[in-house]
Amino acid sequence: MSNNILNWKNNRDMFPEADEDGKPIVDLESQKYVKVWQGPNHPGVTGNMSLELTISGDEVMEAKTHVGYLHRGFEKLFERRRYIQCFPTCIRMCVPEPDINEYNLARGTEVLGGIEVPEMANWIRMLVLEMARLQVLLRMVPGQAGTMGLGLAGTWGLYYRELILDRFEELTGGRIYHMFILPGGVRGLLPDGFKDRLEENLVKVEAFMKDVDRLIYTNAVFKKRTKGIGVIPADWVDEYGIMGPVARAAGFERDVRKDYPYLYYDQLDFGYNIAHNSDVFDRFIVRRHDVDTTVDLIRQILNKMPKKGDIKAETPNVLHWKIPKGETIIRCESSRGEYLFYMVADGSIYPRRINLRGPSYTHAVAVLEKLLINANISDVSAIMVSLATCPPEIER
């Protein structure tokens, strides 16, 4: 990491000098620098994470990501739980979009355990995943401007998110933690009239997104605050493993749903949402287009999915379901990018290891620390939110 700072292409004159290891020498006594902690409790920080910023005037000289405030240790908890018992736990690794965890865990268990999931269950899984993406984007797209003091759209967005949560409540019995996709299938069929009610909501969402366009994306202040800020050079994308909307904003066609289709995504018609400037604005605009894509995908899924079918495959008794020895990698596209589970089974009823590799692991540590250098302190939150950092992915 520190080497990267040394290799920084820009003029380093304004940065503190570095020692032999490349660690900046910040002489706080010189009164030239001030250390500021942003977080762990800060409105601009997404979750329990903090940034240790060394600033000179308004500008960030050095940034350091600190995690360790969650105290949960999900991956350790999995090792002492049966596969079925992991599924109410794994969702807690991402509160806004829990379903990706459920899907990865279920799919991994099925792959290792050799279970074939019924077609209907897979369509419902896809619907749930897209609904989850929509509700997280509905909070994020209008809400991102909140980091720049434009909180209004974010407040409106919450209502439209609630509409999708209502549908979740109807379908899964839960609003935030749906606990719906479990090893073997899903926990229910669509209720009567669900499709129509969801369609009504989608129409409302589409109308609302026009308001968001007017309020945020056609907004001089927003544009001024986001354009040309936090630019991620294209050569970073592969170097750092940047993914999802952040990579797409840099002009890369990266989407697990298209690159490595899972479920029935190969039967759906959608494209990559791409931008080229790779600044905060472009990342936000890619997400804005993602909303449209997601709404469209939900409609396609609703039209294509069968009316009836089995929701769960026959599995061994979940209380002593021994998964044969093996390992697998399962990935899906979350709203933040590629979301990956590495699962190892040792032939017992408990998983040997379930390892999560989410996009925030690079976005919020390696990329953010580097991106913040030379940034204005008032842009720190905007840059961070544009990377969609999620601390539980780092500290799981």
Partner 1 sequence: MSIKDVIVPFSAWRKVFDKPVTIKDPINERPGADRYRGFHKNDLETCIGCGTCEVICENEAIDLVPVEGIETKDGDSGLRPRVDYGRCCWCGLCVDICTTGSLSLTNAYTWVEEDPEKYRFTPGVDEKPWDNEEKGWKKPEPNYEFYNLKRVTMEHLHPEERSDSFIEMVKGYSKEQAEKEADRCVECGICTATCPAHMGIPEYIKAIRNNDLEEGLRILYDTNPLPEICGRICTHKCEAVCTIGHRGEALSIRWLKRYIADQNPSEKYKTILNSEFIEKNGKSIAIIGSGPSGLSAAHYLALMGYEVTIYEKLPHAGGMMRYGIPEYRLPYDQIDKDIDYILSLGVKILYNTTIGKDITLEELGKKYNAVFAGTGLHLGRSTRIEGSDHKNVYQSIELLRKITLGEEIDLAEKMIVIGGGNVAMDITRSIARLQMKKYGKAGVIATSLETEDKMPADREEVVEAREEGAIVDPGWAPQHIEIVDDKIKGLHVAQCHSLFDEEGNFNPQCNLDNLKFFEGTMVVESIGQGMDLSYLSDDIKHELEIDKRGRIKVNEDFQSGLPWLFIGGDIIQGPDVIHGIANGHTAAKGIDTFLFKESK
Binding site for partner 1 (CB under 8 A): 81-82, 84-89, 152-153, 156, 159, 166, 169-174, 177, 179, 185, 187-189, 191, 211, 214-216, 218-221, 223-224, 310-312, 314-320
Question: From the CB of 20, what's the least distance to partner 1, in Å?
Answer: 46
By beta-carbon proximity to partner 1, the closer residue of 52 and 211 is: 211
Q: Are 363 and 242 in contact (CB under 8 A)?
A: yes
Neighbours of 76 (CB within 10 A): 11
By beta-carbon proximity to partner 1, the closer residue of 56 and 85 is: 85
Sign of CA dihedral 271, 138, 362, 147: positive
Question: From the CB of 84, what's the least distance to partner 1, in Å?
Answer: 7
CA distances (Å), origin 36, targets 12, 53, 82, 165:
21, 5, 44, 37
* Residues 6 or more apart in contact with residue 239 via CB below 8 angstroms: none
At 292, is the secondary structure helix, strand, or coil? helix
Question: From the CB of 112, what's the least distance to partner 1, in Å?
Answer: 17
Question: From the CB of 379, what's the least distance to partner 1, in Å?
Answer: 18
By beta-carbon proximity to partner 1, the closer residue of 16 and 108 is: 108
Question: From the CB of 146, what's the least distance to partner 1, in Å?
Answer: 14
Question: From the CB of 349, what's the least distance to partner 1, in Å?
Answer: 10
CA distances (Å), origin 393, targets 69, 240, 295, 363, 389:
13, 16, 26, 10, 9
Cα-trace Rg, the chain? 22
By beta-carbon proximity to partner 1, the closer residue of 39 and 154 is: 154
- How far, in Å, CA of 74 to CA of 354, rounded? 9
Report the run of H or E that residue 239 belongs to, with start and end. Answer: helix 234-240
Q: Where are the beta strands (DSSP E) in the chain?
A: 34-38, 50-56, 59-66, 181-182, 185-186, 326-334, 337-345, 351-357
By beta-carbon proximity to partner 1, the closer residue of 312 and 357 is: 312
Q: Are 246 and 359 in contact (CB under 8 A)?
A: yes
Question: From the CB of 215, what's the least distance to partner 1, in Å?
Answer: 5
Question: From the CB of 65, what's the least distance to partner 1, in Å?
Answer: 29
Please provide the size of the chain in residues.
396
